[in-house]
Amino acid sequence: MYPNQTQLNQTLKEYFGYDTFRPLQLDIINSIFEGKDNLVIMPTGGGKSICYQLPAILLPGITLVISPLIALMKDQVDGLHANGISAAFINSSQTANEHQDIFQKITDGKIKLLYVAPESLSFLDTIFSDIEISLIAIDEAHCISSWGHDFRPAYTQLGYLKNKFSNTPLIALTATADKATRQDICNQLNIPNATQHLASFDRKNLSLEVRPGNKRIEQIIDFLKRETNNCGIIYCLSRKTTEMLAEKLQSQGYKAEAYHAGIEHQKRSRIQEQFINDTIQIVCATVAFGMGIDKSNVRWVIHYNLPKNIEGYYQEIGRAGRDGLPSSTLLFHSYADVVQLQKFANTSGNQEVQMAKLERMKQYADSLSCRRKILLSYFGELIQEDCGNCDVCKNPPTFIDGTIIAQKALSTVARIKEQEPIGTVIDTLRGAQNAAVYDKGYNHLKTYGIGKEISWRDWQQYIIQLINQGYLEIAFHENNKLKLTTLSRHILFEGEKVSLAHLQELEKAKQVNIEQVSKAKASSLFEKLRILRLEIAKEAGIPAYQIFNDATLKEMEKVRPMSDEEFLQINGVGRQKMQNYGYQFIKEIINFTSEKKKKRKTSANKGNTHKETFTLYQQGLSIEEIAIERKLAESTIFSHIMKLYENGENIDLNQFINKADIDAIKKAKIELENPDTLKPYFEYFQEAISYNTIKIALAILEERAT
């Protein structure tokens, strides 16, 4: 008997802590109970795991989960245990005795989900006939397709599972797959008639930003100043770059480590564990890092270099903000990145496909229109409105008449007979005196030096725009030579106008007073709960986000539950977690709220002291008399008077100053050219007029001016 809607909702809340299903989850779960095969394309953080974990709880037998990485399996199993769900994993890192112990638990019906690496499936042949497999889930299913972006040969053996268990529903899941990859997954897994579920790829909580790859390290350090205490990943093309970048960040005081396939396995595992447990803040990694990370509180992802395709880029940025909270992504790109990636593509098995995907990636980076539209359209999802959360939407480019710039560039390409890449074209335009120009006689061309007033970097950006508009193209198969197109003659000979985006200096990151930000964070309830979560996690030996994710803590901060019933209503709080952690978190919330009330009462008392001063002022007492009456310093009473005046109370400042002082300060204001501080006035009068008198005079003069 299939579970009804009420049972499913109760299971969702009890084990996962959520009141409602996300889009498509319920459809997928019902399809599984109907015995159908399914292909699920759902973005990272969209809730893929619940699609098979929830049915596993209610199905009579065991759910077999194929997962590509040991770390990912361990993370998933730890999370299930925290939710009160019985689960285990089998892989090559375990001993024969550990395997035997797990086999016994499976035979005894004590495990609902079993995670297995594709290479370890042979371990299970001996027990397949003795257990009931109710569901098979293939996680990271894109790994089976050579059309995808993380092809793993071990995945190609998985097609036999459907043949062996023909009556068992199979669900394949991945965050990214274009149409060709989706079809390939279904064919290779022998589920050609699988129901395909495509969730929206729109991760609205992720901001998208792309910048030219100039002074990347300086830009990254400025970026990190705005991400105080937040953890993130920086993806790099080369191992050498990861190590260089990690060293640079360490020298700036950041807890950063390099991660790549050349690092010894034990050290890689330790780095990953430290990142998961919030011991280190930043991982500088090649794309080898991340698939095994189920960490929900990654707040930002940076790409130091251009990725090789949009699928990989989308999956990598998807590792930020899995909990749905606002998170940042930043992509750097350069012409050198494109050249390097072309070399990689030329050695791949699908050269033509990989080059085409690289071109789409480059078009995304060079775009001057809403980036989210481009990203979503790649996966077949069209949106009408601009997103408002990418760099182009936030700072739309202004355009200039670039006709003369275009004519100079196109004419130079023509005169060097379309035989040079972009760098030599720019050198010729700028009149460079180097061997590349002189040896080929380009210094004798009519266009030599006609663009020297434009910087090398700006020429590069203008030429990229001309390529994007179709007036130039890069011949990748001819050492990246720039070529004219059929549209070029419209500019050169027919007077067609060209609009180019006006190049402006990148807006400098706003200076952040890190000390003030840290103090503000330290005094927030969210930060108090975060610290408590970390303490509990260390004691339990599991990642902090598996206790509660950041989104759940944010809701606690907003709602402030103070009873078991209220705590259980928070999204992400299931029955097991309420029993395990509810008392500690409720106690922290109550303590924080009580402390805040005390502070508000103190603040209210401060407001009353101003009122007492105002009452005595209304009775006609002078500042000196009020000070005596209230047993306070005259400077304190004066500050009360000025605050009351600024707040709009009926205070006549003229009674505290004579006309001669006002006139003298008015004259000083003109001569000193209206300084922003009081000290220049104090020094101007050689300390003969007090700061209080200066402040009163300036307030009166400002009032007169208005």
Q: Rounded to an integer, what distance in angstroms lies between the CA atom of residue 618 and that of residue 641?
A: 11
Spell out the long-range contacts of 362-370 with Cβ–Cβ below 8 A and sequence spacing 24 or more: 362/306, 362/333, 362/338, 363/468, 364/210, 364/310, 364/313, 365/210, 365/306, 365/331, 365/333, 366/333, 366/464, 366/465, 366/467, 366/468, 367/210, 367/392, 367/468, 368/392, 368/397, 368/465, 368/468, 368/501
DSSP 666: H
At residue 317, the 3 state secondary structure works out as: helix
Percentage of the chain exceeding pLDDT 70 = 92
Question: Which pLDDT belongs to residue 602?
Answer: 55
Would you call 202 exposed, middle or buried from its count of C-beta atoms within 10 A (0-12, 13-18, 19+)? middle
Neighbour-count burial of 250, counting CB atoms closer than 10 A to its CB (0-12 exposed, 13-18 middle, 19+ buried): middle
Burial bucket for residue 704 (CB in 10 Å: 0-12, 13-18, 19+): exposed
pLDDT computed for residue 600 by the predictor: 60
Distance of alpha carbon 558 from alpha carbon 526, whole angstroms: 9
Supply the DSSP symbol for 379: T
Distance CA 63, CA 52 (A): 8
Q: pLDDT digits over 373-389, tens only?
A: 888 887 778 777 888 99
Q: Which sign does the torsion angle of CA 90, 92, 94, 99 carry?
A: positive
Neighbouring-strand partners of residue 138: 66, 172
Phi, psi for 672 (deg, rounded to 5): -85, 0
Average pLDDT of the chain, as a whole number: 86
The answer to whether 574 and 84 have CB atoms below 8 angstroms apart is yes
**Which amino acid type is present at position 678?**
L
Q: 3: helix, coil or strand?
A: coil
Q: What share of the chain is helix, strand, coil (3-state, %, to 5)?
A: 55, 10, 35
CA distance 176 to 135: 22
Angle (CA) 167-168-173 rounded to 5° is 135
Whether 511 shows a pLDDT value over 50: the answer reads no
- Phi and psi based region of residue 258 (left: phi greater than 0; alpha: psi -120 to 50; beta: remaining): beta
pLDDT, one tens digit per residue, over 413-424 is: 999 999 998 899
Instruction: State pLDDT tens for residues 190-215.
Output: 999 999 998 888 889 999 999 988 88
- Residue carrying structure tokens 């079809």: 183
Question: The tokens of 485 are what?
Answer: 């197109």
- Per-residue pLDDT reduced to its tens digit, 16-25: 999 999 889 9
With left for phi above 0 and alpha for psi between -120 and 50, is residue 131 left, alpha or beta?
beta
- Top pLDDT among 436 and 301 is at 301
As to burial, measured by CB atoms within 10 angstroms (0-12 exposed, 13-18 middle, 19+ buried), residue 292 is buried
The CA distance from 463 to 466, in Å, is: 5
Residue-wise burial string across 210-235, b where 16 or more C-beta atoms lie within 10 A, e elsewhere:
bbbbeebeebbebbbeebeebbbbbb
pLDDT at 349: 66
CA distances to 156, 635, 666 from 661, rounded to whole Å, are 90, 19, 8
- Beta-carbon contacts of 181 under 8 Å, excluding residues fewer than 6 positions away, are 142, 145, 147, 148, 311
Q: For residue 543, give the nearest of 77, 142, 197 by alpha carbon.
A: 77
517 has a pLDDT exceeding 50: no
Q: What is the structure's pLDDT at 413?
A: 95
Closest by CA to 272, choosing from 259, 263, 261, 262, is 259
Q: Residue 16: what pLDDT?
A: 93
How confident is the model at residue 612, as a pLDDT? 85
Tokens 């598996």 locate to: 546
Q: Is the CB of residue 606 less than 8 Å from the CB of residue 616?
A: no
- Rounded to 5 degrees, what are φ and ψ at 148? -85, -155
Task: Compute the distance between CA of residue 255 and CA of residue 232 in angstroms, rounded to an integer.
Answer: 11
Pair type for strands 113-116 and 87-90: parallel
| pLDDT above 90: percentage of residues in the chain | 38
Quickly state the pLDDT bin for 35 (edges 50, 70, 90).
Answer: very high
User: What's the rounded Cα separation, in Å, for the pair 376 and 152?
Assistant: 26
The separation between the first and the last C-alpha atoms of the chain, rounded to the nearest angstrom, is: 79
Residue 533's pLDDT band (boundaries 50, 70, 90)? very high
Residue 408: what pLDDT?
A: 95
C-alpha distances in angstroms, 119 versus 67, 123, 141, 153, 425? 10, 9, 15, 10, 51
User: What's the residue count for the chain?
Assistant: 706
Most confident of 151-165, 195-209, 343-357: 195-209
CA-based nearest residue to 138, from 106, 162, 104: 162
Longest alpha-carbon distance in the chain: 104
Span 115-143, pLDDT tens digits? 998 887 776 666 667 788 999 999 988 88
**pLDDT confidence band for 153 (50 / 70 / 90):** confident
Q: What is the pLDDT of residues 553-592, one digit of tens each?
A: 999 999 999 888 899 999 999 989 999 999 999 999 988 8
Q: What pLDDT is recorded for position 241?
A: 94
β-strands 133-138, 195-198 pairing: unpaired
Q: Given strand 113-116, what is the order of strands in its sheet?
A: 87-90, 113-116, 62-66, 133-138, 170-174, 38-41, 195-198
